[in-house]
A and B are shown apart, each in its own frame.
Chain A
């Protein structure tokens, strides 16, 4: 009787039931989509972190930034020297010679002693540690035309000479760059290369500590038309490409990976590293490990994946975070409104059935049974809304995943925290001799990660819970009205 009565009643009032269910469905769909987007953001963040660090890396150790002593700094800054006499000697005279110069620089100019790896490795809670050296290679290609002595009436190149004596002269250079990562080939499980997959050829052998071999990021290889077996030239030295690596998400950590010793030699940084990659025994105890590492290496900066997550989410959250916050509030508002509307509609439906319920009470139906009927109708309506909402929410989440925008994560930029920098993009320095001090900052990079919106089982459970709750709220409104009806209302002339 309960279900027959319930079913008939809902069919009779399907309009109102649909309004109630739709309201709930809207709220529930919003909850699902918002949850899916926020967990999608979490995933995007994890993928960004993964692509920066590599799998299994819990924290990095870099040199703490120190106030720069000018003299020291100058040594480290790259200086491009071109042969300015070329034009005069050459006899042909008119044009400058094409010249090219590679400068290999340590990224961020801050290094740690390679012994740090051992020190860090011995700290409490550290499972494994590996060193890495991030380099930046800047290539300057171009012509340099020296100024020439000119007759007063002779045309010269504009902008070059001074006071009519020597005229013309100038430079036309293009600056290009790529990033190199010196990898500890003896520890293949740690470091940025672990976030890439070898898609062609092979990775480093553990014995190739000083081999002239390279693994090249597939995107960079494509751009430079390089392949396995080719030779890539870094700082004037050729390396045989043994494999291509494809970043599993976002950008690769470096364009070219070399054995650590080779990278150190190129940069003139023997026994130096930029980063120690640390794997902790327990990823939940990172703070304790951080303290232990700082004790062992006092002048280091320790960056955990959580720290990094903060910088990543900082930029990720600007757009989508706003959407999630607004979405959360919106779903609360919509749900509240839906609950209220459901309650009022149910209550008013009971008002229109005063005589019906009065009659049932007159027939001997307990108040509880009548109330239960009302609550049952409301809960079923709520569940209907829940089903509708889950379908709607899942469709929405699917649409976001399918056509969704990609998120742009800005990384690094924070002074000295080389870890978060990773290899930077091409420097925007002019063709002047000395690079600007801007290099002190870890180059910031932006990663594009596609936003997904995974619907979790727990949010489905939440949706069902909300649907039942909505039904109970509506049922409470209506049931309260129904429970207060008197059996004498059966005799009421007008219902």
Chain B
């Protein structure tokens, strides 16, 4: 359960002042599926950073299950990210030197899971996204769609409360896009995840159960 009130994120560089977010109020219920759209530079990624505890607002509050992420120390925030929040990025962000399995394991490292269990859970997570045969492959040996599946497995392996995806299909062709969306939606439904996805894709936006639009840091009715 997210409750955002008056969330503003101001970037100041010299005399230039940019409000990436300018007073956003937003509530997202547990198990909600929210799609954020809007023109480039509208503040979509910034909003995701606020939700994921990757960045803090300049003002306003971001309550996750009643805890204000804006007021937490970096260490606590890191703990919450490791435990509750899964990320999927547009450019996959896999560690290029690690195998698919090891990449998935990285999400379990901060939780202190023992290596053996880590390997098992990673293998299961990869199997659930259809990559059971590709455990030992490094990202360079996988297609874009497969890499994004690895990233989804990495986001879900720790069984988070929230899944945040920033243009997860932005680098994929249409057929792969639909595959990935399928995987994401079924996984989220299965686990009852709160799912927030940023997209430019009007096709995906149209399919969304709940849609918000960000323009110049402000939520506008869509």
The chain B residue with its CB closest to the CB of A13 is B97
CB distance B89 to A367 under 8 Å?
no
**Does A458 lie at the interface of the complex (its beta carbon under 8 Å from any beta carbon of B)?**
no
**Does B107 lie at the interface of the complex (its beta carbon under 8 Å from any beta carbon of A)?**
yes
CB distance B78 to A364 under 8 Å?
yes
Pick the contact of A8: B48, B74, B97 (CB < 8 A).
B97
Measured CA separation A447–B75 after assembly (Å)? 70
Q: How many residues of A contact B (CB 8 A)?
A: 25
The chain B residue with its CB closest to the CB of A357 is B95
Measured CA separation A366–B78 after assembly (Å)? 6
CB distance B98 to A363 under 8 Å?
no
Measured CA separation A356–B89 after assembly (Å)? 12
CB distance B102 to A490 under 8 Å?
no
Which bracket fits the contact residues of B? 20 to 34
Pick the contact of A366: B49, B83, B89, B110 (CB < 8 A).
B110
CB distance B110 to A362 under 8 Å?
no
CB distance B106 to A490 under 8 Å?
no
In A255-283, the 8 Å CB interface with B consists of: none
The chain A residue with its CB closest to the CB of B95 is A356
**Does A187 lie at the interface of the complex (its beta carbon under 8 Å from any beta carbon of B)?**
no
In A1-38, the 8 Å CB interface with B consists of: 1, 4-5, 8-9, 11-12
**Does B195 lie at the interface of the complex (its beta carbon under 8 Å from any beta carbon of A)?**
no
CB distance A367 to B74 under 8 Å?
yes
A contact residues around B106 at 8 Å (CB): 1, 360, 363, 365
In B79-106, the 8 Å CB interface with A consists of: 79, 81-83, 87, 89, 91, 93, 95-98, 102, 105-106
Measured CA separation A397–B105 after assembly (Å)? 48
Measured CA separation A364–B49 after assembly (Å)? 14
Q: Helix, strand, loop or mixed for chain B's interface?
A: helix
CB distance B79 to A490 under 8 Å?
no
Measured CA separation A12–B139 after assembly (Å)? 14
Measured CA separation A360–B78 after assembly (Å)? 10
CB distance A488 to B54 under 8 Å?
yes
Measured CA separation A8–B97 after assembly (Å)? 6
Measured CA separation A367–B54 after assembly (Å)? 13
**Does A288 lie at the interface of the complex (its beta carbon under 8 Å from any beta carbon of B)?**
no
CB distance A361 to B93 under 8 Å?
no
Measured CA separation A413–B181 after assembly (Å)? 96
Asked if A490 meets B93 with Cβ closer than 8 Å, knowing A363-B110, A364-B79, the reply is yes
In B33-81, the 8 Å CB interface with A consists of: 45, 48-49, 52-55, 74-75, 78-79, 81
CB distance B98 to A491 under 8 Å?
no
| Shortest Cβ gap from A181 to chain B (Å) | 74
| Shortest Cβ gap from B68 to chain A (Å) | 18
**Does A103 lie at the interface of the complex (its beta carbon under 8 Å from any beta carbon of B)?**
no
CB distance B98 to A8 under 8 Å?
yes
| Shortest Cβ gap from B180 to chain A (Å) | 18
**Does A167 lie at the interface of the complex (its beta carbon under 8 Å from any beta carbon of B)?**
no
CB distance B87 to A490 under 8 Å?
yes
The chain A residue with its CB closest to the CB of B92 is A359
* Given A8-B97, A361-B78, A367-B74, 8 extra CB contacts under 8 A: A5-B102, A12-B97, A356-B96, A364-B110, A365-B106, A366-B75, A491-B49, A491-B54
Interface residues of B (CB under 8 A from A): 45, 48-49, 52-55, 74-75, 78-79, 81-83, 87, 89, 91, 93, 95-98, 102, 105-107, 109-111, 115, 118, 154, 166
Interface residues of A (CB under 8 A from B): 1, 4-5, 8-9, 11-12, 355-356, 359-367, 369, 486-488, 490-491, 493
